[in-house]
A = this chain, B = another copy of it.
Amino acid sequence: MAQLDDQFQDDPVQVEDTVLGTLIGYRLKRAYMQIQPQAQRVLAGENLRVVSFSCLSIIADNPGIVQSELAAVLQMERSNLVVIIDELEQRGLIGRERVPTDRRRYALTATLRGRRLRDSVAEKVRQAEDAVIGRLNPQDRAHLLAVLERLDAGAPQTTT
């Protein structure tokens, strides 16, 4: 973070790159490195991590989803979800109650506060992203989203 701030006023070291920059994986990582700190900064202002916001957002869109499903959707480990869900619940952003038909599972639902926070934070994140992708015209932006979505199509997928 301090590193980035410093480097913005550094000499932009010009180097050759005949290989690395032609690899999609590297380009994806680089683009993500530029945009992620922006989102993280906004979310930190609301005491949220990226992953917490992701959970809250999916729960808000899918009332009754259980932790295993959430973990599968976000491609993360169930075990690492526990503390995140705990905190979201303690902050009153989500509720969880046992599913009567299967008492192993907890149905997760976003509270009104949770849904409102999700919506307002999402808007702030969107604006923060725009600061980075501002140089993209609407067509390129839409095209980018569509192509990235297709790259993600092999995995457990969300519907739009």
Chain A residues with a Cβ under 8 A of chain B: 3-4, 7-8, 10, 12-36, 38-39, 50, 54, 57-58, 60-62, 65, 69, 72-73, 75, 77, 118-119, 122, 125-126, 129, 132-133, 135-136, 140-141, 143-145, 147-160
Chain B residues positioned under 8 Å from A61 (CB to CB):
15-20
Least CB distance, A108 to chain B, in whole angstroms = 12
Least CB distance, A116 to chain B, in whole angstroms = 13
How far is B29's CA from A147's CA once the two chains are assembled, in angstroms? 13
The reply to whether B21 and A25 form a contact with Cβ atoms under 8 Å apart is no
The reply to whether A125 and B34 form a contact with Cβ atoms under 8 Å apart is no
Instruction: Write the chain B residue with the least CB distance to A122.
Output: B19
The reply to whether A28 and B31 form a contact with Cβ atoms under 8 Å apart is yes
The reply to whether A7 and B58 form a contact with Cβ atoms under 8 Å apart is no
Chain B residues positioned under 8 Å from A54 (CB to CB):
20, 26
Least CB distance, A130 to chain B, in whole angstroms = 9
The reply to whether A15 and B158 form a contact with Cβ atoms under 8 Å apart is yes
Chain B residues positioned under 8 Å from A28 (CB to CB):
28, 31-32, 35, 148
